[in-house]
Structure 1
């Protein structure tokens, strides 16, 4: 595994699957978190996820600058897990950042990464067309980000109902 992209719907088991793939590898593990604890419920979710990871894991918070976080983690870890690209995209959109620039920097950092890398994202394109312009733009941007990430990944897995399905790779 060099670059693995794991995609799935909410509560599909994608993060659990990605974590299990990473933990099966030897060495120091880095978790790049894109979520921010902006309310008590999210803080609780983050705490549960942190507790679920063991002492092999170091954490890097990267709500915006994912490319720099990848470079930092690569210097200290043997395997990197990024969870999740969809939250990162949402953070960028809400901060009105230049998405094309941020995604291009991310793609370059992924291409330069010399350790196994697992990236997680939500598949948001299975539902109905959202009613407002921001939600439609988010759905579109997420779909394009997922396509670009899948293109640079060596392996792509879709997880549904806790079951992984290989979309790309040997």
Structure 2
């Protein structure tokens, strides 16, 4: 076992195609703990099917849990001494928004499950608030909900990293 330290909860954020999933995967593999991949994406078209396939191809040796909506139950399966990658909050939130779920309630349930998870969790999310104000109500609702969700998870995480152009920048480190 190496001396790599993985906090109980780490948040990895950044823009689309910034390298955040690869960075998060490396955090987990460097920990040398048994690996769990909690996937939230759903394949609605060929492009998304291809992206999911590329992510799966990188996950040899991971226990996969597909959880487009029920991340709470997926986190409950992560045992002490395991490291889970939750990829990603943005897709999870999109799934709940489209399902017309109570986003506030689901966010509270998720944050509670992250706190109670027996293993280590690395959460991937997208930073969506740095662009222009969307031109329609659904997009604005999503942007606001994503921003609030990211703030809640970042507040409870021991470590937060933003990845831009494949380069990590630590925003919050364990004390």
TM-score, normalised on structure 1? 0.95
CA contact (8 A) 1:30 1:77 kept: no
CA contact (8 A) 1:29 1:77 kept: no
Give the root-mean-square deviation of aligned CA atoms: 1.2
Give me the whole-angstrom Cα distance separating, in 2, the residues matched to 1:166 and 1:7.
10
Structure 1 gaps of 5+ residues are none
Q: Does residue 48 of the first structure (1) align with residue 40 of the second (2)?
A: no
Q: Does residue 123 of the first structure (1) align with residue 124 of the second (2)?
A: no
Query: 1:135-146 to 2 correspondence within 5 Å?
Result: 135-146=139-150
Q: Does residue 154 of the first structure (1) align with residue 154 of the second (2)?
A: no
Q: Does residue 24 of the first structure (1) align with residue 30 of the second (2)?
A: yes
1:10 aligned to 3, 10, 16, which one? Answer: 16
TM-score, normalised on structure 2? 0.92
CA contact (8 A) 2:88 2:123 kept: yes
Give me the whole-angstrom Cα distance separating, in 2, the residues matched to 1:27 and 1:13.
22
Q: Does residue 114 of the first structure (1) align with residue 118 of the second (2)?
A: yes
SS of 1:24's equivalent in the other structure is helix
Structure 2 gaps of 5+ residues are 1-6
CA contact (8 A) 1:71 1:113 kept: yes
CA contact (8 A) 1:29 1:80 kept: yes
1:37 aligned to 14, 39, 43, which one? Answer: 43
Give the aligned partner of residue 104 of structure 2.
Answer: 100
Aligned residues between the structures? 168
Cα drift, residue 101 of structure 1: 1.2
Give me the whole-angstrom Cα distance separating, in 2, the residues matched to 1:77 and 1:169.
21
Give me the whole-angstrom Cα distance separating, in 2, the residues matched to 1:77 and 1:63.
24
Q: Which stretches of structure 1, 4 residues or more, deviate above 2 A after TM superposition? A: none
